[in-house]
């Protein structure tokens, strides 16, 4: 585009009191003194070539979130592999296998290790390559950059340099940290959405320096030159100090002129800016942390098992060596036929200690089968296949955006099943930033028949409870009440829904109100029509929104600073008061009044606007209507508004208060509306003082404005109240409810203000009416002497008081919520305070941290992770969540949203928060149990197999001789037992996915580590030990001196070894079949196919020339198969090996069943279909006791309703008694 767009004519800054209308005192006071360390950055504007050489050569705008690059991949990936204990052992064994003392060939040791390590490294490379592709999608975004001579062109983000002048248009992201030079508005205002940085959806107002306002067109940059000296790169999002030297003058810079990377331009046609920080120097990337290397708890515990087995291996190797030394010294000289000592000194009676040392090395390699080398590679294969199932799960596919779930790393699948605490972002994660106008109270009358989700659920639950009571027998006290009143408890608390359900209109965004008394002009007939008129005018006038008309439909939409404002304007439009235009000094509203069918456009002169702040908790606008009457219209928190009512303005206060309480109980966000008429003299006097304060320079300006605003906002007259339903993302309350029932704790960490966070907490049922809130704020004057110590002492006192309140609470249903702001959190996270803060937090049902920076999110996550020692999961959607996502044990990114930074840093990506329920409760439960059972089984089968080698070696005089042929041992882990265990890890299901969701308490098997605790691990090891003893000694007893062949010959070593190996194959494969709860044809094929493959191998191997070397020619056809004792021994040993496990699981299911055992039995006998009442009863029992979530809120509502009913029935009973007495 050759020139700039036509600049907007509204000076947007005139709409604001506190945020924008500054006369830049900093400019008048002179530039900042920024000499010294930390302020060394020099930026030559419009001269990027100056930054191509040191010392002004800064980092490029290229970003990377990968763990590896081309140079670091090999060393880092090898380090990752060999920090696994088992791999380190097999590396040592592979080195020793090169020596002559190895019992196996070098290739048989090196090849499996290379395969295992290579496969794992290939998986790491593939996953990191995916991260690289996502990084490049960001790096290759296009931006409009000044080239030369006033011409602009497209450039990828990664090519942008410090000093470049960039033009950003509406709804585009800023490619780097920029200094705002000018915008499409005359006064240099622009609106920025920082949701990716701090989680806030409210638009931030930025303003350029007046000196650069003239740079408003492409051509003006032809000769533009300036110099910026500013602070060095740092992670502080809310501070910036620097000076701009332009046209031989120096101007101070502050955060209001800085546009941060990954924030978005909104409500502004375009801006021009100069690049200050690029790439990893930008503030958002400074808040990021390096991609950590995460390992699951199961894998860490597996290392401990490897240590135990390695210690055991060294122990039995040492025993074997001692035995060998004894044999060498005392028995070997008498065995003349062995011709000792040998040439190499391995068997030398004259130096038994040296021979014993050689034997120790041999034994360490020989018994290596105790430590399964294929365990890691099998787990890698299983995890990749599990990740594939997660990616392909249609129940986690978002049809709206076409986004599937994505396991970006498969290393942490089982960790999904052990999560204890979820730390969630708010904006874009829990909410979709949309409010629905649902109910209102006007003139003491409640309007709105639509029901909130909480109301509907409470009635539904009570109906179910009533049904259960009718089946189980009605308690006498309830029966009397019903007989006396003739009403059911449900009828007493009927929730009114739309009468015209059949003709229900499609939902309108922001408006879900239903009540014919106010719609279509029917409000004219209401007794308080004048109050209703004022209510609608407050909705349509008291705001800072900008209307935008759709050229096709003619319908107005509104760009509002908050979703509440947007819903109010949509509601006003539907009621017949359509805000349609705004000028410098007026607001125009098309009012369907006095005739609903003939709208009239009315002009209201805007005299002043007192905007909303978190301190004021209210907003007011002063307007002059067409009759010349001056009105102050105000909306705000009910507690604030009620304090400002006049004595004659409280007519509707009592009834409105009751309505507000009712709205709050069902999870609605409320505001009170009031007005005040001003006479000309009163207003003129006040406005004169107000304008003086508004244009003043100095630190007292804001205090003066606040005092004057408070002065005029007194003696108000109450009009009514609004109730909006916070539009959470689809399924969020249900998801949180299910996660709470699964026993998970949920913390919300948000950059939003406390009021908004509390409202969201109510909306998603983390907070509820009646829950006791512990609000921690640092309200001590920070400018006072010794302020830090004073603030810390105050916070410690708040923590102590909160802990004491919880300790003294006697009500079992009482629930506490901890709410803390970012400033307080700064002190709460200090070393001497953080553990006390954590102890308070973990005793609360829910925790909400407000106004937190990205760094604080990461620090809170670290505190919870390290302080509790339990698994944490962080979930977010923006760049401000990257720190906590990387810090948590598991990081989940929300994809399909505007920013992809969270996804790029995450371990798992889902399209919406509601999919977290299935990711954890279904896939997490399955993956944990599968991996845990798989690892236990792996150690069992290797102990069962490996110890038979030790027994035989002792039986054969500690000679270092293996009873098995080398080929048997090579195929044991690779072919004959690997596929069944992989099928266990991929397909095993104790219960199906629907049952997992219906019985969320099953999830607690993971956090409690029921399937991978030391009791179960040692139980499986003991089972392996028992199996090895049975296989070896039972076979030795059977074959020791038993005639084996038709000629009366006894069995030789190869025959006995093959029979033992057959028993091992049958025993371990039958064991895995008994372990499985869920069979498909795949499991049957792999388990029994492994047994068949053993016989096929024997058949083929017996025909090869290789078998001649070990006397195994036709070992199956001619030696084993014709001998009945071979088949009998196989059957006997297999049954004996598996009988104890069968007895154990039978006893457990009969006398001490786990939750899933009960469910399996119910499903097996189809009682879930035949007896629905029993099924519902079991479901209600199978949830963790929780004080948060939708169910907890419904339970509280039911307790409240039942309390009311009991009072009513008891009073009814008293009336009957009195009547009888009279």
CA 327 to mean position of chain CA atoms: 63
- Which residue would you say has higher pLDDT here, 611 or 520? 520
Query: Is 670's pLDDT higher than 70?
Result: yes
CA torsion sign for 895, 899, 901, 904 is positive
DSSP for 569-612, please give it: HHHHHHHTEEEEEE-SSEEEEEE--S-TTS-EEEEEEEEEEE--
- At 559, list the tokens: 């760009």
- Which residue would you say has higher pLDDT here, 547 or 915? 915
Whether the CB-CB separation of 660 and 714 falls below 8 Å is answered with no
What pLDDT, on a 0 to 100 scale, did the predictor assign at position 35?
63
Q: What is the Cα Rg of the chain in Å?
A: 38
- At 640, list the tokens: 């604030």
What pLDDT, on a 0 to 100 scale, did the predictor assign at position 7?
44
Beta-bridged to residue 672, according to DSSP, are 636, 721
User: Is this structure's pTM higher than 0.95?
Assistant: no
Dmax (CA) of the chain = 129
Query: Is 287's pLDDT higher than 60?
Result: yes
CA–CA distances in Å: residue 302 to residues 306, 375, 580, 920? 6, 10, 67, 22
CA–CA distances in Å: residue 265 to residues 286, 695, 781, 882, 1152? 21, 28, 35, 21, 62
Q: What is the mean pLDDT of residues 490-498?
A: 35
List active site positions: 425
pLDDT-derived band at 1196, boundaries 50, 70, 90: low
Average pLDDT, rounded, for the chain: 81
Give the span between the Cα atoms of 112 and 246, in whole angstroms. Answer: 68
Give the span between the Cα atoms of 180 and 176, in whole angstroms. Answer: 12
What pLDDT, on a 0 to 100 scale, did the predictor assign at position 681?
92
pLDDT-derived band at 500, boundaries 50, 70, 90: very low
CB neighbour class for 46 (10 Å; exposed up to 12, middle 13-18, buried from 19): middle
* Best-predicted range by mean pLDDT (272-276, 667-671, 766-770): 272-276
Tally Cβ neighbours within 10 Å of residue 584.
Answer: 11
Q: Which residue in this structure is represented by tokens 């039942």? A: 1202
> Buried b vs exposed e over 622-646: b needs ≥16 C-beta within 10 Å?
bbbeeeeebbbbbbbebeebbebbe
Lowest mean pLDDT among 399-408, 461-470, 765-774, 1026-1035: 461-470
Query: Is 1167's pLDDT higher than 80?
Result: no
pLDDT in tens, 678-712: 999 999 999 998 888 876 655 576 788 888 999 99
DSSP-based three-state secondary structure for 226: strand
Give the span between the Cα atoms of 828 and 847, in whole angstroms. Answer: 14
Query: Is 5's pLDDT higher than 50?
Result: no
Whether the CB-CB separation of 777 and 821 falls below 8 Å is answered with yes
- Sorted by sequence, the CB contacts under 8 Å of residue 1192 that are 6+ apart come out as 737, 740, 765, 768, 815, 1186
CA 31 to mean position of chain CA atoms: 44
CA–CA distances in Å: residue 246 to residues 22, 150, 164, 259, 276? 21, 18, 16, 19, 15
- Sorted by sequence, the CB contacts under 8 Å of residue 124 that are 6+ apart come out as 67, 68, 77, 80
DSSP for 859-924, please give it: HHHHHHHHHH-SEEEEEESSGGGHHHHHHSSEEEEE-SSS--HHHHH-SEEESSTTHHHHIIIIII
Q: What is the mean pLDDT of residues 748-774?
A: 77
- Sorted by sequence, the CB contacts under 8 Å of residue 375 that are 6+ apart come out as 86, 302, 935, 938
* Best-predicted range by mean pLDDT (19-23, 133-137, 165-169, 506-510): 165-169
Whether the CB-CB separation of 762 and 663 falls below 8 Å is answered with no
The reply to whether omega before 55 is within 30° of 0 (cis) is: yes
Question: What percent of the chain is predicted at pLDDT more than 90?
Answer: 27
Give the span between the Cα atoms of 780 and 790, in whole angstroms. Answer: 7
CB neighbour class for 77 (10 Å; exposed up to 12, middle 13-18, buried from 19): buried
Query: Is 485's pLDDT higher than 50?
Result: no
* Best-predicted range by mean pLDDT (62-71, 343-352, 364-373, 452-461): 62-71
Give the span between the Cα atoms of 1019 and 1013, in whole angstroms. Answer: 10
What pLDDT, on a 0 to 100 scale, did the predictor assign at position 541?
93
Question: What percent of the chain is predicted at pLDDT more than 70?
Answer: 82
Query: Is 477's pLDDT higher than 70?
Result: no
What pLDDT, on a 0 to 100 scale, did the predictor assign at position 657?
92
């Amino acid at each position: 585009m050759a020139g700039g767009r036509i600049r907007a004519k509204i000076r947007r800054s005139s709409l604001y009191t506190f945020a924008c209308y500054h006369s830049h005192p900093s400019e008048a006071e002179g530039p900042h003194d920024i000499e010294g360390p930390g302020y060394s950055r020099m930026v030559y504007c419009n001269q990027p070539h100056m930054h191509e050489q040191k010392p002004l050569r800064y980092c490029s705008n290229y970003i990377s979130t990968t763990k590896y690059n081309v140079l670091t991949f090999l060393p880092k990936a090898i380090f990752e592999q060999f920090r696994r204990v088992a791999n380190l052992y097999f590396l040592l064994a592979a080195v020793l296998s090169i020596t002559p003392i190895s019992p196996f060939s070098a290739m048989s040791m090196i090849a499996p290790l290379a395969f295992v390590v290579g496969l794992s490294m290939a998986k790491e490379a593939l996953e990191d390559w995916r991260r690289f592709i996502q990084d490049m999608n960001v790096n290759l975004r296009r931006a409009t950059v000044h080239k030369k001579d006033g011409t602009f062109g497209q450039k990828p983000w990664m090519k942008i340099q410090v000093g470049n002048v960039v033009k950003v248009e509406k709804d585009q992201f800023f490619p780097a940290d920029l200094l705002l030079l000018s915008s499409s508005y005359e006064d240099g205002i622009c609106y920025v959405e920082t949701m990716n940085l701090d989680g806030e959806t409210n638009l931030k107002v930025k303003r350029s320096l007046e000196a650069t306002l003239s740079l408003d067109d492409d051509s003006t940059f032809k000769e533009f030159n300036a110099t910026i000296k500013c602070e060095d790169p740092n992670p502080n999002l809310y501070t910036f100090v620097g000076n701009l030297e332009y046209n031989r003058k120096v101007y101070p810079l502050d955060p209001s002129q800085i546009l941060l990377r990954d924030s978005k331009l909104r409500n502004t046609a375009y801006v021009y800016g100069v690049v200050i920080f690029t790439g990893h120097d930008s503030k958002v990337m400074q808040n990021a942390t390096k991609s950590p290397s995460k390992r699951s708890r199961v894998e860490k515990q597996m290392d401990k098992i490897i240590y135990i087995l390695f210690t055991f291996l060294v122990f039995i190797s040492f025993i074997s060596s001692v035995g060998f030394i004894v044999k060498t010294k005392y028995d070997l000289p008498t065995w003349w036929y062995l011709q000792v000592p040998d040439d190499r000194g391995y068997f030398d009676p004259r130096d038994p200690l040296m021979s014993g040392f050689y034997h120790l090395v041999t034994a360490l390699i020989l018994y290596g089968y105790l430590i399964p080398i294929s365990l890691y590679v099998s787990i890698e294969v299983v995890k990749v296949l599990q990740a594939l199932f997660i990616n392909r799960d249609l129940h986690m596919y978002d049809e709206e955006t076409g986004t599937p779930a994505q396991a970006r790393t498969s290393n942490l699948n089982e960790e999904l099943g052990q999560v204890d605490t979820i730390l969630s972002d708010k904006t874009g994660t829990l909410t979709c930033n949309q409010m629905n106008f649902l109910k209102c109270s006007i003139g003491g009358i409640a309007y709105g028949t639509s029901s909130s989700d909480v109301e509907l659920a409470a009635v539904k639950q009570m109906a179910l409870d009533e049904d259960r009571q009718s089946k189980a027998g009605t308690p006498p006290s309830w029966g009397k009440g019903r007989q006396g009143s003739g009403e059911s408890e449900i009828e007493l608390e009927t929730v009114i829904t739309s009468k015209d359900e059949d003709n229900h209109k499609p939902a309108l965004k922001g408006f879900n109100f239903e009540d014919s008394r106010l719609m279509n002009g029917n409000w004219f007939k209401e007794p308080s029509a004048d109050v209703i008129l004022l209510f609608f005018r407050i909705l349509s006038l008291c705001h800072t929104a900008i209307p935008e008309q759709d050229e096709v439909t003619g319908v107005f939409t509104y760009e509002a600073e908050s979703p509440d404002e947007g819903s109010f304007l949509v509601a006003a439009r539907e009621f017949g008061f359509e805000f349609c235009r705004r000028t410098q000094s007026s607001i125009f509203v098309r009012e369907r009044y006095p005739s609903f069918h003939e709208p009239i456009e009315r002009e209201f002169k805007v005299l002043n606007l007192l905007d909303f702040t978190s301190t004021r908790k209210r907003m007011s606008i002063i307007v002059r209507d067409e009759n010349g009457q001056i009105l102050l219209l105000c909306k705000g928190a009910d507690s604030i508004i009620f304090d400002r009512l006049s004595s004659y303005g409280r007519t509707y206060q009592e009834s409105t208060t009751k309505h507000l309480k009712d709205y709050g109980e069902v999870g609605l966000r409320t505001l009170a509306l009031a007005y005040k008429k001003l006479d000309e003299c009163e207003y003129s006097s006040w406005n004169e003082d107000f304008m003086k304060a508004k244009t003043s320079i100095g630190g007292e300006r804001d205090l003066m404005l606040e005092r004057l605003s408070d002065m005029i906002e007194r003696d108000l007259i109450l009009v009514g109240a609004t109730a909006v339903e916070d539009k959470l993302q689809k399924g969020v309350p249900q998801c949180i409810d299910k996660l709470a029932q699964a026993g998970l704790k949920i913390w919300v960490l948000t950059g939003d203000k406390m009021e908004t966070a509390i409202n969201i907490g109510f909306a998603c049922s983390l907070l509820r009416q009646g829950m006791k809130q512990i609000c921690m704020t640092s309200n001590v004057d920070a400018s006072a002497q010794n302020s830090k110590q004073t603030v810390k002492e105050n916070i410690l006192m708040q923590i102590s008081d909160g802990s004491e309140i919880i300790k003294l609470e006697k009500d079992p249903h009482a629930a506490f919520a901890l709410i803390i702001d970012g400033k307080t959190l700064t002190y709460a996270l200090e070393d001497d305070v953080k553990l006390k803060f954590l102890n308070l937090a973990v005793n609360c049902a829910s925790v909400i941290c407000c106004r937190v920076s990205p760094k604080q999110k990461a620090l809170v996550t670290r505190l919870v992770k390290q302080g509790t020692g339990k698994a944490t999961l962080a979930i977010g959607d923006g760049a401000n969540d990257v720190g906590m996502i990387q810090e948590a044990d598991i990081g989940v990114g929300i994809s399909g949203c505007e920013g992809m930074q969270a996804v790029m840093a995450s371990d798992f990506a889902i399209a919406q928060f509601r999919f977290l329920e299935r990711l954890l409760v279904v896939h997490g439960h399955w993956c944990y149990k599968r991996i845990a059972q798989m690892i236990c089984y792996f150690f069992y089968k290797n102990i069962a197999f490996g110890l038979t080698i030790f027994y035989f070696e002792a039986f054969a005089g500690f000679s270092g001789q293996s009873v098995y042929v080398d080929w048997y041992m090579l195929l044991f882990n690779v072919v004959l037992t690997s596929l069944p265990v992989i099928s266990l890890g991929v397909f095993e299901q104790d219960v199906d996915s629907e049952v997992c969701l219906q019985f969320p308490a099953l999830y607690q098997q993971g956090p409690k580590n029921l399937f991978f605790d030391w009791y179960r691990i040692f139980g499986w090891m003991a089972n392996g030990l028992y199996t090895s003893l049975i296989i070896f000694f039972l076979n030795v007893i059977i074959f020791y001196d038993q005639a084996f062949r038709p000629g009366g010959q006894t069995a030789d070593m190869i025959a006995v070894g093959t029979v033992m190996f057959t028993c091992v194959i049958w025993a371990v494969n039958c064991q895995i079949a008994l372990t499985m709860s869920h069979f498909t044809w795949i499991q049957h094929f792999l388990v029994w196919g492994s047994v068949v493959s053993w016989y096929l191998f024997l058949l083929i191997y017996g025909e090869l020339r290789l078998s001649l070397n070990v006397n195994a020619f036709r070992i199956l056809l001619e030696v084993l198969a014709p001998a009945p004792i071979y088949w009998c021994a196989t059957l006997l040993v297999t049954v004996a090996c598996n009988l104890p496990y069968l007895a154990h699981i039978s006893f457990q299911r009969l006398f001490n069943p786990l939750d899933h055992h009960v469910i399996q039995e119910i499903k097996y006998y189809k009682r879930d279909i035949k007896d629905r009442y029993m099924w519902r009863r079991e479901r209600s029992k199978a949830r963790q006791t929780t004080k948060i979530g939708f169910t907890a809120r419904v339970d509280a509502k039911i307790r409240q309703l039942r309390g009311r009913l009991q009072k009513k029935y008891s009073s009814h009973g008293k009336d009957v008694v009195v009547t009888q007495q009279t």
